[in-house]
Structure 1
Amino acid sequence: MPRIKIDLPEKFIFSTDIPIYIGHINYGHHLDNAQMISLISEARVRFFKSLGYSELDVEGVGIIVADVAAQYRSEAFHGETMVVEMAADDFNKYGCDLVWRMADKATGREVARGKHGIIFFDYTARKAASVPAAFIEKVQAK
């Protein structure tokens, strides 16, 4: 099976610091892969909040994570603080990719990179919705 390769954007429009707690660590004494996805989910919530949105209200529609891809680059350990950077990329009619990078704040060591494919969703009608134009404008203006 070919390995996943994630290309990063030229610039990230959002950054947040997230500490690694003991509950994020697995029996190998490093960041658990499932916990890493949870940390990226926290960063995604913060990303939308920084734009004035919630995941349930982006110009009147919500989002759904359709797919996730990650490429691990190094270990992360208890007590480290991760910097998670994020940008929106590869737009289509119903969604886009949220591309991210996670790195150790103290050293800059890249821990992981990846992307979450999201679609916009009308929770009242229970169907996919077009990407709100105002969302595209906000993320491209940064």
Structure 2
Amino acid sequence: MARIKIELPEKFIFSTDVPLYIQHINYGQHLDNAALLMLIAEARVRFFQHFGWRELDVEGVGIVVADVAAQYRSEAFHGESLHIEFATADFNDYGCDLVWRATDQASGREVARGKHGIVFFDYKARSKAKVPAAFRAKTGA
């Protein structure tokens, strides 16, 4: 089976730092893979807040995560902080990819990279929605 390979953009448009607590660590004494996705979800919420939105209200529509891919690059440990960066890529009529990179804040060591494919969603109509023009404009698309 082919390994997942995620290409990073030249420029990220948002970053935030998230500390690693003991509950993020697994029996191998390093960052748990499920915890990584929770930390990325926290950073994703901050990404939307940075632009003045919530995941349930981006210019009147919300988002749903359609797919996730992650590529682990190194271990991360209790007490470290992850510097998480986001960029948008691969827009279509109804969504895009949120590409991310997580590095150790102190050393710059890359811990993981990945993408979340998002689809804009009208929760009242229970159907997909067009990407809001303001989202494209503010996120550099």
**Which TM class, normalised by the smaller chain length?**
over 0.9
Report the CA distance between 1:99 and its aligned residue: 0.1
Matched residue count: 141
Where has structure 1 moved over 6 Å in runs of 4 or more?
none
Give the aligned CA root-mean-square deviation in angstroms. Answer: 0.7
Shift of 1:55: 0.1
Aligned-residue offset at 1:11: 0.3
Structure 2: 5+ residue stretches without partners: none
> What do the CA deviations read for 1:52-83 (whole angstroms, capped 9, x no partner)?
00000000000000000000000000000110
SS in 2 for 1:135: helix
Mapped partners of 2:51, 2:91: distance in 1: 17
SS of 1:101 mapped into structure 2: strand
TM-score under structure 1 length normalisation:
0.98
* Partners of 2:43 and 2:129 in 1: CA distance: 23
TM-score under structure 2 length normalisation = 0.99
1:109 alignment partner in structure 2: 109
Alpha-carbon distance in 2 for matches of 1:10, 1:106: 22
- In structure 2, what residue type is equivalent to 1:102? A
Mapped partners of 1:116, 1:51: distance in 2: 18
Partner of 2:80: 80
Letter in 2 for 1:70: A
1:21 matches 2:21: yes
Amino acid of the structure 2 residue aligned with 1:60: G
